[in-house]
Amino acid sequence: MNWIVRWIVGAVALYLTVFSWSYVQPLAPFLGGKRGLVLDGAIGAFFAIAVVTLVNAFVGPLLRLLAAPLNCLTMGLMRFVVNALLFWIAGSVGLGLSVQGFLPALYGSIALSSISGVLDLLIPKDKD
C-alpha cells in the first residue's frame, strides 16, 4: 500500500512540476532555451513517474559513479547536471513526459525533487 501512495505523490509532484514550468517558461528565451516540459495528462503522469523512478534506479548509479571525480572538483554542483541528465533521459523515453532541452531538464529535476520532498512531509508515516 505504501508504494501506491508514493506513486500517487510522485505523479502529483510531476504534474505540479510541469504546471509550474508554464510560469518559468516566459523567462526561457532570456536564459537560452525556447523549449519546455510537456505532460500527457494524468495517466501520462503515472507512466512518466514510473519511468523517472526506473531511470534513477538503474541508470542513475552508473552516471553518478562516472561523474564522481567532477562532482568532487565542483563541490557537488555536478550532481545537478547528473540529475538533469537523468530527467532528460526519462523524458526522451516518450511515456507521458516530454523534456525538450537542458534548461527544462534542470528545472524539472530541481522542482520535482523539491515538490516531492514537501509532499512527502505531508504524508503520515507508518509506525512500526
Rg (CA), the chain: 15
Instruction: Output the DSSP codes for 69-108.
Output: HHHHHTTTTHHHHHHHHHHHHHHHS-SSEEE-SHHHHHHH
Establish how many alpha carbons lie within 13 A of residue 89's alpha carbon, considering only the half-sphere containing its beta carbon: 18
Q: 21-38: per-residue pLDDT in tens? A: 888 776 666 555 556 888
Output the pTM of the full model. 0.86
Query: What pLDDT digit, counting tens, does each position of 67-103 carry?
Result: 999 999 999 999 999 999 999 999 999 888 999 888 8
Residue-wise pLDDT for 34-57, tens only, equals 568 888 888 999 999 999 999 999
